[in-house]
């Protein structure tokens, strides 16, 4: 999709609804703007996914991994 836009006072650029929808950009979204060889690239900034982890399960898994690594270490030739 190509659309001609006008840069307004103080450098304000208004993205039409069709462009925002096509790019998954909504009100209050943050975007990354990159300048390359006389070209502006505007991409939506997607925050990393936040995962809720059970701390007890994480501790158990880390403990098991630690035991496996200790066994491997003890089996090394000395």
Per-residue pLDDT tens over the stretch 27-41: 888 999 999 999 999
Per-residue pLDDT tens over the stretch 52-72: 889 999 999 999 999 999 999
The structure tokens 């990354």 sit at 32
Please state, rounded to an integer, the average pLDDT across all residues of the chain: 91
Alpha carbons within 13 angstroms on the beta-carbon side of residue 25 total 17
Domain range enclosing 15: 9-44
DSSP string, 5-42: ----GGG--PPPHHHHHHHT--TT--EEEEEETTEEEE
Number of domains in the chain: 1
pTM: 0.52
Q: 44: helix, coil or strand? A: strand
* CATH number for the domain harbouring residue 30: 2.10.260
Is residue 19 in a domain?
yes
Return the pLDDT at 31. 93
Is residue 73 in a domain?
no
Return the pLDDT at 37. 93
């Amino acid at each position: 999709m190509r659309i001609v836009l006008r840069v307004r006072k103080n450098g304000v650029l208004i993205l039409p609804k069709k462009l925002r929808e096509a790019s998954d950009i909504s009100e209050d979204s943050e975007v990354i703007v990159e300048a390359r060889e006389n070209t502006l690239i505007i991409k939506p900034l997607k925050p990393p996914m936040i995962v809720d982890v059970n701390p007890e399960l994480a501790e158990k898994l880390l403990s098991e991994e630690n035991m496996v690594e200790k066994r491997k270490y003890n089996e090394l030739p000395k």
